[in-house]
Homo-oligomer: A and B are copies of this chain.
Amino acid sequence: MKSPQTEPANRFLRACLRLPTDRTPVWYMRQAGRSLPEFREVRKRHSFFEVASTPALCAEVTLQPVRRLGVDAAILFSDIVAPLVAIGLDIQLVEGTGPVTARPIRERADLEALRPLDPERDMSSVREAIGMLREALAPTDTALIGFVGAPFTLAGYLVEGKPSRDFVRTKRMMFDEPELWDGLMRRLTEIVLDFGRGQIAAGAQAIQIFDSWIGALGPREYARFVQPHMRRLFDGLRAPSVPEVPRIHFGTGTGTLLELMAEAGGDVIGLDWRVNLDEAWARLGGPERVSVQGNLDPVTLMTSWETVRAEAETVLRQAAGRPGHIFNLGHGILPETDAAQLERLTGFIHEFRM
């Protein structure tokens, strides 16, 4: 187990701690799954949650991008709603739609369904997969990142019952039933906190918190209804009971939320493609304060290699080789992406010198 007291050798972990690296570390959101042919083979025979909840399958698909691409970090194959499925909620991943639940949360009595997560019982397969992955991964080459959905993004799915663009019911609950909202967010924060701590205890060497839909909120809404819970979550991931690992704080559409998100917590702030990396890093206090991860537009991967190379180089030049930059996309890999582009891009990032 790495801790900030002993300097890690792995590039990704070093960048999380803003230590110098020989090359810019790189990994990709959604690298496990979607675009890789070897993943599609597995999915022909197993559902998404079968893969996620069977340790050998989960470990296999988590390792696939490491083998093919040589990325500096693996991320546990999971989904944002995984801890909710683990406590027994009936959530289906509907192809082309996303997570759907027949029993949305609308009133106080519905909160009862959100029982605390028992890491021993509810995470046995996740912990086993993490153990297998730590065995399989060469520590110097590849770090293992844990995967946790953030409370707001989970609340959005649960209150709306399905993916939403406007989050009407969610915002209505925030404003008009603030105590119910607070109760929901507190329960979700505890669940994801236990889910994150469980992954760290099992061997995850870093943890990424996905607040994928937070960009639906304005800064006032974020500060009032989300930030206190995120602060508790980030503080809780630094409890004495678990090893101290870097925490990555990611969302999309966060151009006007970045400072508030960084205030809530995170050793690394994930940037989407709607910001210039250099400007966003400066707003966050620069490499003296925090690391950044990002931020190539994932659509770029569907253009020519010349475009991919030029755009990736722009990102690297904005980072200017300063310690604390982890190369990644601004959001997850799109399903239609050609794996060959990812291979070339990874090689390019690793070869690049300022």
Contacts and interface: CB of A to CB of B under 8 A. Distances in A.
Nearest to A295: B218
Interface in A89-140: none
Contacts of A172: 299, 302-303
Contacts of A298: 166
Nearest to A296: B218
Contacts of A255: 253, 255-256, 274
Contact of A274 (B171, B253, B275, B303): B253
Nearest to A172: B303
Given A218-B274, A273-B218, A303 B253 contact: no
Interface size, A (range): 20 to 34
Contact of A299 (B171, B219, B220, B304): B171
Interface in A293-321: 297-300, 302-304, 307, 311, 314
Query: What number of copies of this chain does the assembly contain?
Result: 2
A334 B166 contact: yes
A336 interface: yes
A352 interface: no
B218 A168 contact: no
A73 to B, nearest CB: 24
Interface string A208-226: 0000000101111100000
Contacts of A276: 218-220, 256
Nearest to A171: B299
A191 to B, nearest CB: 26
B220 A175 contact: no
Given A175-B304, A176-B303, A297 B221 contact: yes
A220 B317 CA distance: 14
A117 to B, nearest CB: 30
Contacts of A218: 273-276, 297, 330
A302 B298 CA distance: 34
B303 A171 contact: yes
A167 interface: yes
B297 A171 contact: yes
B217 A299 contact: no
Contacts of A300: 171, 175
A298 B332 CA distance: 28
18 contacts: A166-B334, A167-B299, A168-B299, A168-B334, A168-B336, A171-B297, A171-B302, A172-B302, A175-B311, A176-B304, A218-B274, A218-B297, A220-B314, A255-B256, A255-B274, A256-B256, A256-B274, A257-B274
Identify the 4 closest CB pairs spanning chains A and B, nearest first.
Answer: A255-B255, A255-B256, A175-B307, A175-B303
